[in-house]
Amino acid sequence: MEYHVGDIVKLKKQHPCGSSEWEILRVGMDFRLKCMGCGHQIMVARKLVEKNTRGLRVKENSMEK
């Protein structure tokens, strides 16, 4: 699965605010994710994101590349 900046990823576990959707802000060995519920930002290892992904919504603009 390919991840791009701006995509929305749905993870297994919910954030304490109740949202399980995260916007990808940075891609690399680590991902910077922003909670779609409260806006909290975290850095997570790529391996954990790939393992815990339950769904991926692709940003519309990334299809034009």
Record the pTM.
0.86
Round to whole Å and give the CA distance between 29 and 59: 21
**What tokens does 38 get?**
């409260």
Is the dihedral angle over the CA atoms 40, 36, 45, 13 positive or is it negative? positive
pLDDT digits 0-9 by tens, 22-61: 999 999 999 999 999 999 999 999 999 999 999 999 877 6
Q: Is the confidence at residue 64, as pLDDT, over 60?
A: no
Round to whole Å and give the CA distance between 7 and 63: 11
